[in-house]
Structure formats: C-alpha cells, structure tokens
C-alpha cells in the first residue's frame, strides 16, 4: 500500500517539475513548486505510516514553509506586475538598480 503513495508522489513531483520547466507565467511556476512540495509531503506521511510519526512533523513544517513561500511569491509577482505590467517570465529581462 505504501508503494502506491510513492508512485503517486513521483507523479505529482514530475507534473510539478514539468510545470516549472515549461510554463512562462509566474503564477503557474508557483503552482508547480507547490505541487512538488506536496509530493514531498506525501512521501513524508507515507514513510511515517510505516516507520514512525516523525514524517508527519516534517510534513507540517513543509506546509508552513509552503504557506510562507506562497505569500512572499505572490507579493513578488504583484510587485513585478506593477513595474513591468506582465507576469510572463520571458518578458521580464531587466533588473532595477
């Protein structure tokens, strides 16, 4: 039964990685990163089901970090949109000094 969780986690991680690599929109890149973090959470919880409960504590920590990353990432996307008037990562090609 644990093998099913690992296969599902690998699928989620590869979908998230494909989104990060192929998409040009900053919002979709953040969604792909969230999918990869959730795949790691699934691995932690699956391992804690068979070994100890330590994986659930790691998963809770990853959820907290993911929430903070989402808040900071969306704030950065809003600032970039206000300055460049786009969220397409290919069109943002200069840094403000």
Overall domain count for the chain: 1
In DSSP terms, 88 is beta-bridged to 25
Could you give the CA distance from residue 52 to residue 10 in angstroms, rounded to a whole number? Answer: 21
Cβ(77)–Cβ(27) under 8 Å? yes
Q: According to the model, what pLDDT value does residue 83 have?
A: 86
CATH number where 45 lies: 1.10.287.3510
> Would you say residue 89 lies in a domain?
no
85: left (phi over 0), alpha (psi -120 to 50) or beta: left
> Would you say residue 71 lies in a domain?
yes
Token pair belonging to 22? 């192929």
Domain assignment of residue 28, given as a range:
2-84
CB atoms within 10 A of CB 9: 20
**Residue whose tokens read 């998230």:** 16
Q: What is the pLDDT along the chain (97 residues), one digit of tens a residue?
A: 788 989 999 999 999 999 999 998 888 999 999 999 999 888 888 888 777 777 778 788 888 888 888 899 889 889 988 988 888 888 887 765 5
pTM (predicted TM-score): 0.79
């Amino acid at each position: 039964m644990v093998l099913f969780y690992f296969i599902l986690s690998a699928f989620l991680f590869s979908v998230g990685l494909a989104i990060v690599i192929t998409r040009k929109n900053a919002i979709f890149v953040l969604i792909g990163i969230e999918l990869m973090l959730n795949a790691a959470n699934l691995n932690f919880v699956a391992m804690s089901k068979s070994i100890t409960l330590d994986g659930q504590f790691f998963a809770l920590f990853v959820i907290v970090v993911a929430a903070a990353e989402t808040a900071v990432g969306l704030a950065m996307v809003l600032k970039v949109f206000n300055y460049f008037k786009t969220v397409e990562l290919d069109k943002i090609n200069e840094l403000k000094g």
